[in-house]
Structure 1
Amino acid sequence: MLRATFLFAALVAAGALLPAAEPPKPPAPAGAAAPAGSELVALVKAHCVRCHGPAKAAGGFRADDLPADLTRDKERWAAVRDQLRDGLMPPPKEPRVEDAKKRAAVAAITAGLGHPVPRLPNQGNLVPHELLFGRPAAAASVGPARVWRLSPGGYVGLAREVTRGRLPSLVQPFTLSAERGIRDFASLYTIDEPSAEVLIRNAEAIVDCQTAYDIKDGKFAPKQDSIRELTVLVDPNAAPTRAQVEAAVRTQYRLAIGRAPTDEEVGRFLGLYEKCLKLGDRPGAAKTVLQAVLLRTDALYRTELGRGPADATGRRRLAPDEVARAVSLALGHAREAGLVAAAAKGELATPEQVAAHVRRLLDDPKADRSRVLGFFREFFEYGNAPLVFKDRQRDLHHVPTQYVADTDRLILHVLAADKDVLRELLTTPVTFANYATGKNKQKGVEESKQAVVLNPNNNKGQKNVETVYGFEQWPAQQPAPVPADTRLGVLMQPSWLVAWSTNFDNDPVRRGRWVRERLLGGTVPDLPIGVDAQVPDDPHRTLRDRLTVTRDQRCWKCHQRMDELGLPFEQFDHFGRFRTAEPVVDPDATAKNVDKKGKPLGPVFKEAPLVTTGAVADSGDPALDGTARDPREFVRKLAASDRVRQVFVRHAFRYYLGRNEALSDARTLQAADRAYVASGGSFKALVAALLTSDSFLYRAPAEGASK
């Protein structure tokens, strides 16, 4: 109990409960060619005042008295912008605002309001796309100074680092937001008291692992994987010297924080050791000190304050150790030895030096690049397939974890080629199906094999996992071409289709919302409170037919941004199987399906022809808008779009920089997009451009600093 009390005090004193820094508001872009305030007022009066004036004020909102100075009524002008941007106003029966005029108005209002960086993951698309990519960006980019709590994976990586791979059993203290979108954002997470209690218990387990020993024949014997500089402190038969305690503190600093401590820091921990000695035994005091180092802010947070030199504008560059940890944790879950060594030698001083290490890590198959695949898991969210409950099927062995593993393998296959990555991910005609590898003991080589093998004597007629992909037999050579004219790319993988389905049916609405947000860079308002969003349960009608309930005027203003984007995927059932018809109940045949006593024997189904058309509307790119006859034509159209590629770059920015993009990041985004295009669609080039950008390497000057 005393040890826990000291540790909690050390944690608070070290500032581990420090809240994450709020990102500063970027300045509005100068010289934007946009409508003036008076022109915006005229547009509002022409299209809005009839319903939102003094006589009617629909929804309690008046637009007739909006000031030409947008900063005098930011809340109402922001509401006007959001309604215009999302296509919700004017309503369908009223004269529409021309697309070009609408985009210019949205950009002008956004610039006039200054538009602070949206904080939540699902708010990233609130910054209008045209302001980021619509014109060349000249202003230098800069990121906010911040402290960034370790991600769940980053915390496990820290534990592996400090135990040199001998990871004890730990409780994960950190979680991520349940919000949609890229979720590991620097501004969202702090360490609260419940997390601190878990961290204290974990620190005890880690130090026990670091200092593990046996007593053999009465003699102290450190275990083989223990850390010798630390185990010397816990020998019950020998008191450590002050020099040994100091050496142990310095070793723990290097392991947990990646740098040597200052003399003042060492002195503080030596003082803690002396204080603990008065209340307990020597090994207990030593372990308390070692645990306290693990609980420091700079062990549990990534500090990106910009401790490096300032440029002429006052921007401060990340210090070499900040760069080393930031790049390491951008690509993997632990500090990378080569980056740490380079930082110590002063070899991370230029973007070119950083780029060389980024390319080295991306090209090294042994390097920790787990967060590269992690980006695609978060972007597509196909990893949620196992979370969707499905009833056991008589004719299918449903294994969603294998669907996810197959899609992981497909993405890694595309990344290995590193050519036109986004287009390939959306349109590749090959797939992995029920695929795994295993070592052939006779030949001594790795070979492909079926991951899930059914017992032929006890499968009760179920078909194996590969049949979901359309294969009658498991293809030995993989990736294998998918059956012709059936499916393409990740959006037609069973994992993605199941992840965006319900327990018993497809979910065109959420699939359409995904396309709107992740590929088109648009927004859809959240479901209003009190709205019963239920599709009628009429088993004699197809899902597309039943979904027409959303055409109601109260619903359609939002559903028009989703439904037609998700309906092409009705080509597949909610297990991800290709189909050309949908089973529906035949009312007449069901009524006749009775036994001799007239007792109903259950529903009789018939096949209803599928309609697989879809449409893109109000995308922001007139060349992209239009209809598609089936999901394959639909994704090919999306994959060929410059806007879709740029939105993909925006999501990569959020993932690797841990925040939403701001207007001041336009230069970084455009440069990253150019690097991707110039390299022939190399994801490595895109990542390297982001991790060497000013937005990544520089931090805003402190408030009041000269500029």
Structure 2
Amino acid sequence: MEFRSGSGRRVEELGTVEYLNQSPSKQPTMIVSAMKLKSLFVLLILSGRCFAIEPATLDRPLLKVLQDKCSACHADGESEGDFSLDSIQGQDPAKRNEQLARVFHVLVTAQMPPLDEPPLTDVQSSQLLGVLQGQLAESGLIQQWQRKQLFPEHGNSVDHQALFGRQATQVAWSPSRLWKKSPHLFDSLANRGMGFRPGRYGERSSQLSKLKQPFTMEEKAGIRDFAAIALADSATLETMLRNAEALVDKHLADAMHQRRVKLEGPIPEDQLPKDKNGKPIQTRFNQTPEAFAAIVLADAATTDQVNEAIATMFRLVIEREPDAQELEKYRQLMGRCAKQANHAEALRMMLVAIAVSPPAVYRMELGQGPLDEHGRQMMSPADLAFAIAYALTDQKPDEQLLHAAASGQLTTREDVIAQVTRIWDDVDIEKPRILRFFHEFFGYNAAPGVFKDASRFGKDYRKVPESLVQDADTLVLHIVREDKDVLAQLLTTEKYFVAHSGDNAEERHRHDALQKFYDYYKDKPWRDFPYQVPKEHMTYVRSIDRMFTHANGNVTKRWMNYLEQCDQAGLSHMPMQNGRDYITAYNLSDQSFSFPVEQPFVLNPEQRVGILMHPAWLIAHSLNLDNDPIRRGKWIRERLLAGTVPELPITVDASIPEDHEKTLRERLTVTQTQECWRCHVKMNPLGMPFELYDDFGRHRKLENLMAKGKSKPVDSSGRLAGSGEVTLDGPVQDPIQLVKLLAQSTRVRQSFVRHAFRYWMGRNEMLSDAATLQAADRAYVESEGSFRAMVITLLSSDSFLYRKRMD
């Protein structure tokens, strides 16, 4: 049987999101089988209520599928989940649609069959989904699901096998869109273009401190900067308007003051602002850009002057030159304003309008080239330049990128590859978005936000999470620089950085400098130094290293106390900016551990490997007072296994019972009831192995119970299911075995590619992105695990380059 959409295209060729994005008149008569979704019948069971499909709508092959797949549990008197095949019978249409709507939600979240049961084939899923779509054709359920696909938490809805398991037949593209600028872009813009020029009396310029951050992103774990959901609301626009007025008034202040003096004479002393003693304050102004001052101080404004003022404002807040249409638009606006106010006030209103215009609020990605045979348009060179710059940096395009766009050298895929490669390889160009991807993917940077009872840590905990995140960042950046089997290394490396910058040459220099400092003072009476040490001492120690620039008597004594303790214990002289206490999170002794000057170093491969056993990750994915194996298992299911976990029903009490005599694993047996386990089976077996660590990330063999003084041995066993490879699935004895199996999984690698796609494309993948995803995965494999090769492939793909207007 072949199902086709209204356009004649086979339904199997349409991605689910693509299907849902079509207008109702173009929606096919059945939902696309893009997600390899699970048995309709079993999902009916999960709805918890029976509903009927008219027998006539189920032909014999479909009935046979239900009998073959479901009768063991749901026929002949068996009715697991309160459903039996015998209950399929007629029902009124309104009731039927109500139930079908509930079923559809469960169906698309792929809750069944269980992980240990074989899934339906694509053909079986397509046929069953066709029946369901026919029943829901008149409901608004499809439109509701369409809206959900725009949100990051629904990124795994498109079936993994449909994206990677067959040859891609569709061309890729992204919807034409406006993408709200991120908080990071605003911070960069405020400090660079929207900041104010230095004052004429040498005062410090007012920059971001005078401009309020208008852009926000939801504080959710995961990849959050999605174009489709980042719409500027009224609060954003109100803040932008206030910022624009402050910005324009600050820029115009000098010229406006001169204009007032010119028209009215010097300002009377009684009108000047006074200090607390009642004395007039000398007013200071920032210099007004020449293009603005020429209009404010003149009797009238010429067309050329207005054009230059518009261009200046564009360069300040939009970071590009205006086109002819924009020049005309704002000239007319100023002309209309000038009819109601003087030309200086008209200039002000026009400049404010530019500062809150769509290009100032949004990234413009509309596609402006000619339509190709697939209805796509390539982004213009100017838009591409900004898209490339924003993909890797928080800055506007550099001069080379702007020149390439202006000179016709940014019109082909090869041009884009050349520019992305240049920026990636230029060590002088900061690329914060690379590390930010790993923050949003792994989430370990959230550790400082998890409140902990410091007394349970036994040390000063104030700077511990921040120090651990710094160590994790150093490890991630090191592996990315090495660029060899990046994901596998991140998951299974035995080497860590502890209190180290990542630059071995720098650390060797600092170590040697500390030794010189210690050798210089150890035989001197440093314990008796006054606040001011002799000048000849300071001259020498300052020549050793800049860290001793302010080494007065008190500082010298603190350094020497620390270095003497290290020397007596035979420990390396490593500068500890945040103290030694935090290293106990690695199960290291703050009294006896000697920091290797050369790092990363093998920590303890029998206790921990990789980023998922890094204390920063373990703290970030924990609760205030305990571990969170459910959350950790959900992370692995969704981030590494491209799986889905249904949302928690609002009727479910998710609290864990307190029992002072039981371990957390024992208390979580409440989730193994039939109603709960269908979801928890996807999480608990993956998260439980990490019970080998406490909620501070410390390795342990015993779990301290809530009953004071009692403990039990830690059970770190679990089970891997859904890896996509039968040889990998099965029981695991601890987290080390689990992550080593995950690192071997093709599905895990491809899930990593999917998340990188979402991060750099700002949206969830569609079935039409299969070619892009497969190419990125292929580039990663063929380059022996190069993250650089994968990202460059994504940033030169059709999904990145082409836009298509949606109905």
TM over 0.5: yes
| Residue 380 of structure 1, aligned match among 434, 442, 446 | 442
Do the aligned residues in 2 keep the contact of 1:121 with 1:183 (CA within 8 Å)? yes
2:414 is aligned with 1:352: yes
Deviation (angstroms), 1:685: 0.9
Give 2:229's aligned amino acid.
L
- SS of 2:727's equivalent? coil
Deviation (angstroms), 1:621: 3.0
- SS of 1:608's equivalent? strand
2:202 counterpart residue number: none
2:245 is aligned with 1:124: no
Do the aligned residues in 2 keep the contact of 1:424 with 1:489 (CA within 8 Å)? yes
CA separation in 1, counterparts of 2:160 and 2:757?
A: 14
1:406-417 to 2 correspondences below 5 Å: 406-417=471-482
| Residue 637 of structure 2, aligned match among 516, 519, 528 | 516
CA separation in 1, counterparts of 2:191 and 2:60?
A: 61
Which piece of structure 1 moves more, 539-548 or 474-483? 474-483
| Residue 145 of structure 1, aligned match among 171, 176, 200 | 176
Deviation (angstroms), 1:268: 3.3
CA separation in 2, counterparts of 1:128 and 1:77?
A: 21
1:452-601 to 2 correspondences below 5 Å: 452-454=577-579, 464-472=581-589, 473=593, 475-477=595-597, 478-584=599-705
- SS of 1:442's equivalent? helix
Deviation (angstroms), 1:482: 1.4
Do the aligned residues in 2 keep the contact of 1:519 with 1:644 (CA within 8 Å)? yes
Deviation (angstroms), 1:296: 1.1
CA separation in 2, counterparts of 1:23 and 1:574?
A: 43
1:421-460 to 2 correspondences below 5 Å: 421-436=486-501, 442-443=543-544, 450=575, 452-454=577-579
Give 2:543's aligned amino acid.
Q
| Residue 308 of structure 2, aligned match among 247, 268, 286 | 247
- SS of 2:712's equivalent? strand
2:208 is aligned with 1:168: yes
1:76-225 to 2 correspondences below 5 Å: 76=100, 79=103, 82-83=106-107, 86-89=110-113, 97-99=117-119, 101=120, 105-106=124-125, 118-163=149-194, 167-169=207-209, 170-208=211-249, 210=251, 213=254
Give 2:242's aligned amino acid.
R
Deviation (angstroms), 1:342: 1.2
2:395 is aligned with 1:395: no
Give 1:491's aligned amino acid.
L
Residue 315 to residue 231, structure 1, CA distance change in 2 (3 Å) = same
Deviation (angstroms), 1:529: 1.3
- SS of 2:704's equivalent? strand
Structure 1 unaligned regions, length at least 5: 1-21, 67-71, 455-462, 587-602
Do the aligned residues in 2 keep the contact of 1:250 with 1:261 (CA within 8 Å)? yes
Residue 163 to residue 298, structure 1, CA distance change in 2 (3 Å) = closer
1:616-631 to 2 correspondences below 5 Å: 616-631=720-735
Deviation (angstroms), 1:190: 1.7
CA separation in 2, counterparts of 1:466 and 1:144?
A: 48
CA separation in 2, counterparts of 1:160 and 1:271?
A: 31
1:360-407 Cα distance to aligned partner (Å, 9 max, x none): 111112224111111111111112111211112262222212222221
CA separation in 2, counterparts of 1:277 and 1:48?
A: 76
Give 1:186's aligned amino acid.
A
1:439-471 Cα distance to aligned partner (Å, 9 max, x none): 8753458999545444xxxxxxxx611221232
Deviation (angstroms), 1:82: 4.6
CA separation in 1, counterparts of 2:84 and 2:575?
A: 61
1:296-339 Cα distance to aligned partner (Å, 9 max, x none): 11221122221112222332111111211112111122321232
CA separation in 2, counterparts of 1:31 and 1:274?
A: 55
- SS of 2:635's equivalent? helix
1:654 counterpart residue number: 758
Deviation (angstroms), 1:225: 7.9
Deviation (angstroms), 1:490: 1.1
Deviation (angstroms), 1:516: 0.3
CA separation in 2, counterparts of 1:110 and 1:406?
A: 49
Give 2:364's aligned amino acid.
T
CA separation in 2, counterparts of 1:501 and 1:33?
A: 33
Residue 229 to residue 302, structure 1, CA distance change in 2 (3 Å) = same
2:330 is aligned with 1:269: yes
1:37-78 Cα distance to aligned partner (Å, 9 max, x none): 864443234445885999989779998479xxxxx9999499
Do the aligned residues in 1 keep the contact of 2:630 with 2:680 (CA within 8 Å)? yes
| Residue 718 of structure 2, aligned match among 614, 630, 639 | 614
Give 1:464's aligned amino acid.
D
Do the aligned residues in 2 keep the contact of 1:210 with 1:231 (CA within 8 Å)? no
CA separation in 2, counterparts of 1:38 and 1:643?
A: 35
CA separation in 2, counterparts of 1:160 and 1:411?
A: 28
Residue 352 to residue 494, structure 1, CA distance change in 2 (3 Å) = same
Residue 44 to residue 79, structure 1, CA distance change in 2 (3 Å) = farther
Residue 492 to residue 352, structure 1, CA distance change in 2 (3 Å) = same
Whose helix proportion is higher, 1 or 2?
A: 2
Residue 293 to residue 185, structure 1, CA distance change in 2 (3 Å) = same
Residue 225 to residue 378, structure 1, CA distance change in 2 (3 Å) = farther
Deviation (angstroms), 1:84: 8.8
CA separation in 1, counterparts of 2:78 and 2:35?
A: 35
Deviation (angstroms), 1:223: 7.7
2:66 counterpart residue number: 44
- SS of 2:725's equivalent? coil
2:270 counterpart residue number: none
Structure 2 unaligned regions, length at least 5: 1-19, 40-57, 91-95, 134-141, 198-206, 267-282, 514-541, 549-572
1:217-245 Cα distance to aligned partner (Å, 9 max, x none): x999998886443454455x886655323
Residue 670 to residue 204, structure 1, CA distance change in 2 (3 Å) = same
2:392 is aligned with 1:310: no
The percentage of counterpart residues that share the same residue type is 39
